[in-house]
Amino acid sequence: MSSKKWVVSFISISLSVVLLFGVLTYFLDPLLQYGKEPGHLTFRQYTEMYSNPGIAKNYDYNSVLVGSSMVENTDVSEIDKLLNCKTIKVPYSGGSSYNHKTILDVCFKHNNKIDKVFWSLDEYALTTDKDTPRYPLPDYLYDDDKINDLSYLLNLDIFYFYTSKDILGTIKRENKQMMRDGSWIEDESIYCKENALASFTYPMKQQKSKGDKFFQQNLSDNIKYNILPLIDEHPKTEFIFYMVPYSISYWYMEKQNGTLDAQIYDVKCALKEILKRKNARVFFFQNEENIITNLDNYKDYTHFKPEINSYMTKEIYKGNKELTSKNYMKVINKFSRFIRSFDYDSFYKHTALKKQV
């Protein structure tokens, strides 16, 4: 065979292989860019930046659940049953307010009949840069240009890490990693005091308070650009914000790091603006003392077991734990006094934590 023919053959075979990869990725669609997964919603943790835009564009829904990893194990079928919704879940592990606004913009662009947005509001998400996602986003999947989707179809990393595993799983008749009724399946034995205690160092040296306004600029920017515009631009949608119960260890760390004053201030500022909107509601679960002081509810210093997510869904349905413009300052101030005066030394001694420093 002449060198010219060899080159032509090599190029033809290479293109055919790449095309085959693209065709397989298109039909298997491992990251949900073109259609629904039959039955329950497929979910691969840490790939939300890829799968969320496809879910937002292709699924049938009238409600959206958005937030960080704190909502990943929320059972959306329970939300649907109690609150009469048809909900998709589009979380970002460690997601920033920019992540949440970006995916909600996609949702509203492709579905103009969103009745409710359930938004888990994390303190840290209020303080990150307003234009920075948690991880770099594949922007070509968030727009409507089908041509640049070739970056998905012909992406050898996606084929290797996801498409090929779907093929292998099908051959072996294995079930894909799924969300049970929209819930992340985890071994619930990981939620225990031992793991919760192992996730941080005690005791920590106490730092001088950085002051109320330590995060002021990022806080103001996130409220102004990533939260309020969505509420104001969609007056027919009810935005239900809720703040989840981090463990007492989280607040201990904030106190020792000198950022507790800033965290409390940020919450007050954010809620003050949100509660001015007629189509926004806020539910507050961070002051659930029986939950946050029971470390068997946690797998680390923030992440709690699925029963807590279920509890919050039921409380929202009942209208409990709701803040208003009249009571939010009183509730947060009371919580602030609790975490400031809490006897952390006795608590960790009682929980048999061996001092690490």
Q: What pLDDT does residue 130 have?
A: 95
pLDDT for the residue numbered 64: 97
Q: What is the mean pLDDT of residues 157-175?
A: 66
Q: What is the pLDDT of residue 146?
A: 78
pLDDT band at 178 (very low <50, low <70, confident <90, very high): very low
pTM: 0.89
Where are the chain's structural domains? 36-142+179-350
Residues 6+ apart with CB under 8 A from 324: 275
User: What percent of the chain is modeled with pLDDT above 90?
Assistant: 66
Weakest mean pLDDT among 115-119, 244-248, 331-335, 348-352 = 348-352
Range from 16-20, 299-303, 313-317, 328-332 carrying the lowest mean pLDDT? 16-20
Show the tokens assigned to 185: 């399946």
pLDDT in tens, 71-100: 998 999 999 999 999 999 999 999 999 999
Q: What is the mean pLDDT of residues 300-328?
A: 97
More reliable by pLDDT, 166 or 134: 134
Q: Which CATH architecture has domain 36-142+179-350?
A: 3-Layer(aba) Sandwich (3.40)
